[in-house]
């Protein structure tokens, strides 16, 4: 394959489809926010845990990995929160699925393939598509892509939306082509995120205010109220463990793939490459302001757009990073 071909991923094409300006910032200029998205960091941590679990079936190894990855939990409260959640989630997961109905064929599998013009069958001379799937598994004689998700709520709406996950459909096609494994469908392995919080207890000030209030209401002029102490790690783990006994905290959803859908998605992918080349040639990447608050939170590039590209904003809040971080193997650095 020629070295002039640029690697692209579905994340890149999805960004281009949603807001061309965001795609330019990430994939043309290479900007990424200095502050990591906490949801993405937690998602990566759980992906790595699941890889270890499905490779070894050893929950002690998974727990040791979480300990190492969250070494900063002693001083950083958000890391501590993730440590608690990851520990309880993975321990609950191992108890929920001690044996699997599928055989693992591959984990964290990278692939790469041409993007083809559907009219002529010719491969793009500008791009290849690369990606990585969480797993390939076999049930009987059928192969499935295994896709891990962490979700705040696993309800009918969430499961219904999985159908719109174009990325996995197109990746299934590429896995078939690149690895020669016919893919029957996708198994979404969804892990719920418990919303419990570790109690911080009361400050002396809060306690005195509550005590005064109780005394005012008391007919005897006395109260037995004691200061609420912070919840210990053991007690919080106990509450989380109880939560993860609920089978509804985990869900497996199987979706079958239609060949027609493959064709539509491949045609769309080709069109996106042509539109991208045109935008790059003209140096015009339009903003799609309807997308600025998609997923109920501001886009990662909102500060730049809001400030009209102010260089100080870019300098202070962004850094340059290589594209397609998701294709790299997990490194041995702590996640936090």
Which residues of the chain form contacts with ligand SF4 (CB under 6 A)? 19, 21-22, 287-289, 291-292, 299, 301-302, 305
Report the Cα 280 to chain-centroid distance in Å: 29
Task: Report, in Å, the least distance between residue 162 CB and ligand SF4.
Answer: 24
Task: Report, in Å, the least distance between residue 327 CB and ligand SF4.
Answer: 23
> 187 forms bridges with which residues in the sheet?
146, 254
**Can you list the alpha helix ranges (DSSP code H) found in 107-231?**
156-161, 166-179, 204-217
Q: How far apart are CA 101 and CA 187, in angstroms?
A: 12
Q: Which is nearer to ligand SF4, 89 or 299 (CB)?
A: 299
Q: How far apart are CA 251 and CA 231, in angstroms?
A: 30
Task: Report, in Å, the least distance between residue 291 CB and ligand SF4.
Answer: 4
DSSP β-ladder status, 142-151 and 318-320: unpaired
Q: Which is nearer to ligand SF4, 5 or 292 (CB)?
A: 292
Query: Interior CA angle at 166 toward 123 and 138, to 5°?
Result: 90
Q: Which is nearer to ligand SF4, 244 or 301 (CB)?
A: 301
Q: Which is nearer to ligand SF4, 163 or 286 (CB)?
A: 286
Q: How far apart are CA 240 and CA 191, in angstroms?
A: 14
Task: Report, in Å, the least distance between residue 22 CB and ligand SF4.
Answer: 4
Task: Report, in Å, the least distance between residue 20 CB and ligand SF4.
Answer: 8
Q: Which is nearer to ligand SF4, 323 or 330 (CB)?
A: 323
Tokens of 130: 């690369």
Q: Which is nearer to ligand SF4, 153 or 308 (CB)?
A: 308
Task: Report, in Å, the least distance between residue 302 CB and ligand SF4.
Answer: 4
Q: Which is nearer to ligand SF4, 285 or 336 (CB)?
A: 285
**CB distance 198 to 228 below 8 Å:** no
Task: Report, in Å, the least distance between residue 281 CB and ligand SF4.
Answer: 20
Q: DSSP character for 119?
A: T
**CB distance 334 to 69 below 8 Å:** yes
Q: How far apart are CA 171 and CA 185, in angstroms?
A: 11
Q: How far apart are CA 133 and CA 171, in angstroms?
A: 7
Q: Which is nearer to ligand SF4, 117 or 288 (CB)?
A: 288
Task: Report, in Å, the least distance between residue 21 CB and ligand SF4.
Answer: 4
Query: Interior CA angle at 188 toward 182 and 191, to 5°?
Result: 155
> 250 forms bridges with which residues in the sheet?
191
Q: What is the DSSP string of 68-96?
A: HHTGGGGT-HHHHHHHHHHHHHHHHHHHH
């Amino acid at each position: 394959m020629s070295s002039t071909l640029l690697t692209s991923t579905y994340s890149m094409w999805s960004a281009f489809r949603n807001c061309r300006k965001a795609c330019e910032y990430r994939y043309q200029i290479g900007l990424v926010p200095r502050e990591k998205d906490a949801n993405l960091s937690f998602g990566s941590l759980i992906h790595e845990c699941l890889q270890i679990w499905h490779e070894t079936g050893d929950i002690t190894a998974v727990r040791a990995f979480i300990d190492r990855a969250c070494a900063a939990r002693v001083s950083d409260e958000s890391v501590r929160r993730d440590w608690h959640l990851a520990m309880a989630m993975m321990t609950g997961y191992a108890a929920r699925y001690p044996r699997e109905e599928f055989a693992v064929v591959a984990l964290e599998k990278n692939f790469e393939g041409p993007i083809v013009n559907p009219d002529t069958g010719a491969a793009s001379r500008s791009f290849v598509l690369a990606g990585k799937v969480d797993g390939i598994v076999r049930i009987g004689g059928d192969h499935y892509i295994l896709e891990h998700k962490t979700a705040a709520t696993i309800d009918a709406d969430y499961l219904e939306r999985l159908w719109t996950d174009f990325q996995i459909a197109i990746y299934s096609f590429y896995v078939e082509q690149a690895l020669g494994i016919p893919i029957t469908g996708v198994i979404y392995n969804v892990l719920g995120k418990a919303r419990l919080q570790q109690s911080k207890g009361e400050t002396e000030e809060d306690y005195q205010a509550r005590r005064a209030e109780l005394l005012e209401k008391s007919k005897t002029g006395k109260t037995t109220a004691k200061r609420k102490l912070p919840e210990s790690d053991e007690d919080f783990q106990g509450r989380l463990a109880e939560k993860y006994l609920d089978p509804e905290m985990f869900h497996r959803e199987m979706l079958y793939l239609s060949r027609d859908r493959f064709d539509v998605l491949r045609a769309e992918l080709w069109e996106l490459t042509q539109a991208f080349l045109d935008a790059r040639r003209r140096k015009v990447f339009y903003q799609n302001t309807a997308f600025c608050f998609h997923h109920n939170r501001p886009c990662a590039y909102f500060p730049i757009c809001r400030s009209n590209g102010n260089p100080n904003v870019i300098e202070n809040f962004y850094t340059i990073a290589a594209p397609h971080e998701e294709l790299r193997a997990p490194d041995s650095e702590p996640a936090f």
